[in-house]
Structures are given as structure tokens and as C-alpha cells.
Amino acid sequence: MIVIVGGAGLAGSNLVLKLNTENFNDIVIADDYTDLEKKQHLLSKRFSKKIKYQELPRFLTVNQLHVQLVVVTEEVSTELAKGIWNSCLAFGLPLLVLEKGIQSTFEEISKAESRKPYFWSIVKTENIQQVALATESLFFLMKERRSSGVYEIDTNGNCLALQNIGFQSLKME
């Protein structure tokens, strides 16, 4: 199962759709579900379960043997980010993060913590128009899992570091 934190948001629901097109439906979506637009994003998407953010730490503890990957697609509180990081570290869960803008909670955590999950990557985008490319980047990293690190997508839709490990860019128009 894949846990998508922020899965009801724009980027998260795009990732759910991409996974659905690859016939992957064992997806758990963690979100706050307060925004009506988020509920619209989940229409026609296939997933196993919806949980709220506050349920996530317990869910990861109880289901640690079934979770294959944790993907964070939306900005979360520092407290929740640290909880996700520590759960992935404790249970050996791979962690992928999509962060928009210059400030990066998970990047700060990765610099501050000497211990890291066995595989972790952060894809940083500068704007929301790069959601399709960011989704493709996350999907690529889900399959490859070669190199942990921080990958930045520039305003032209390029990510040289990802291209160096085999990612074929979608070239944003």
C-alpha cells in the first residue's frame, strides 16, 4: 500500500490518478478534507481508504508491515512532518516528498537529522504549474529508488539531478 499525505490536494490527486492508470489502487489518502475542492479532486479516483492527518501516526504504526511507501504531496505542519520522518525511520519505510517554494520543512529536517529513512527524496517545485512534471518525477522516484536527495525542478521544468539518474523530462510548455 502507498500512503499519500495530502492526497486530496491537486498534486496528490494527480499522483493517485497516475497510480490508477498503472493499475495501482491500494492507496491510503491522508488529508484534512475541509476544503470542498479537495473532495472534488477525489471523484473517480480509486483508493482503499481515507484517513485524517491526525490519524496518520497511529495508522503508520499499526500498518507498518503493509506500507510500501509514504508520499507527502502537500505542506504539513512541522510536528506532522517530524512524525512522518520518524515513523519512516523507525519502520524502514521509504519517503518521497513534494514541496513547493523555497522553504522546505522536510529539507530542514533532513539537514538537522543525522539518521535518515533508508530511502528518502524531496522534489522541490517553484510553482503550481509544475504539478504534472512533479507528479511524473515522484512516480519515477517511486520506481527507481536509486539515490536519496533533494531534487529541484527549475522554472523551465528541468531537473538535471533527476535526468542524471535516467528521468526523461516531460518538458513543460
Cα–Cα distance between 96 and 41 in angstroms, integer?
21
Convert the pLDDT of each residue in 124-160 to its tens digit.
Answer: 777 666 767 777 777 777 777 666 777 777 666 566 5
**What was the pLDDT predicted at 82?**
93
Mean pLDDT of the region 12-33:
91
Mean pLDDT of the chain: 82
Convert the pLDDT of each residue in 37-67 to its tens digit.
Answer: 888 889 999 999 999 999 999 999 999 999 9
**What was the pLDDT predicted at 91?**
94
Within 71-167, residue ranges assigned H as helices are 78-91, 105-112, 131-144, 160-163
Domains of the chain (ranges plus CATH)?
2-163 (3.40.50.720)
Convert the pLDDT of each residue in 95-111 to its tens digit.
Answer: 988 887 666 788 888 88
User: Is the C-alpha dihedral spanning 125, 148, 88, 7 positive or negative?
Assistant: positive
